[in-house]
Amino acid sequence: RSIPIMLMNEENKDMKSVFMTDNLLIRDVQEKDMSLRQLIFKSNPYQIQCEIKTILTSKTKIKNDKDNYIPIKTLDKYTQKNLVQCLDDSFISMFYIQALLSALFFVDLKKYPQEKVKILVLGAGIGTINYYFDKILKGNVCIDAVELDKKVAEVGMEYFGLNNYKKEKNPNIKWHFKDAKEFIIE
């Protein structure tokens, strides 16, 4: 038996599938006044692995203010109205990510920017933790992100706006696609 440590998935009437493979499901969920994008592994369909808040905005607004909007794959019903979904990175919904980011309270930030903060993320998934560490530390970070499945990192970039998978997008994050045990033994 396993004990889930992530948020439990609740049935919600306003859900739309965005992308699906044999292993995972990405869906948009409307909850009260909030739009969320969720990643769920089919091996455990009642457990939300990752979740971000999204905002809808016009393509014109994004074109005029590229720096403040990170567009993500958008459902057809919005693109037909000239709207685009974007990552709202001012909101962190997942408790485990909030808990991991709280580790920054124990970092002596007086040493920085002389040195980069070095972080190892085992089981980096779609890159949410990498993204927020990099954002909070304003790029003054060197992250080794270890993830077994390269496709998961690609999904993070395309469907969640976490543009840290490709080195040219963010040279502060180095991805290693292998088992975490193998990475540590090396």
Distance CA 32, CA 37 (A): 14
List the one residue out of 43, 49, 23 whose CA is nearest residue 127: 49
Mean pLDDT of the 37-46 span: 94
Taking 70 as the threshold, does the pLDDT of residue 8 lie above it?
Answer: no
40 pLDDT tier (thresholds 50, 70, 90): very high
Mean pLDDT of the 117-140 span: 92
Mean pLDDT of the 29-43 span: 91
Q: In this predicted structure, what is the pLDDT of residue 32?
A: 80
5 pLDDT tier (thresholds 50, 70, 90): low
Q: In this predicted structure, what is the pLDDT of residue 60?
A: 86
Taking 70 as the threshold, does the pLDDT of residue 77 lie above it?
Answer: yes
Mean pLDDT of the 101-129 span: 86
Taking 80 as the threshold, does the pLDDT of residue 186 lie above it?
Answer: yes
Q: Which residue has the higher pLDDT, 35 or 105?
A: 35
Q: Radius of gyration (Cα) for the chain, nearest Å?
A: 17
Mean pLDDT (the chain) is: 87
Q: Tokens representing 157?
A: 């970039």
* C-alpha to C-alpha distances, 160 to 28, 52, 139, 152, nearest whole angstrom: 11, 7, 19, 11
Q: In this predicted structure, what is the pLDDT of residue 13?
A: 59
Q: In this predicted structure, what is the pLDDT of residue 11?
A: 55
* pLDDT per residue as tens digits for the range 132-169: 999 988 888 999 999 999 999 999 999 999 977 777 77
Q: In this predicted structure, what is the pLDDT of residue 79?
A: 85
HEC string of the chain equals CCCCCCCECCCCCCEEEEEECCCEEEEEEEECCEEEEEEEECCCCCEEEEEEEEEEEEHHHHHHCHHHCCECCCCHHHHCCCEEEEECCCCCCCHHHHHHHHHHHHCCHHHCCCCCEEEEEECCCCCHHHHHHHHHCCCCEEEEEEECCHHHHHHHHHHHCCCCCCCCCCCCEEEEECCHHHHHHC
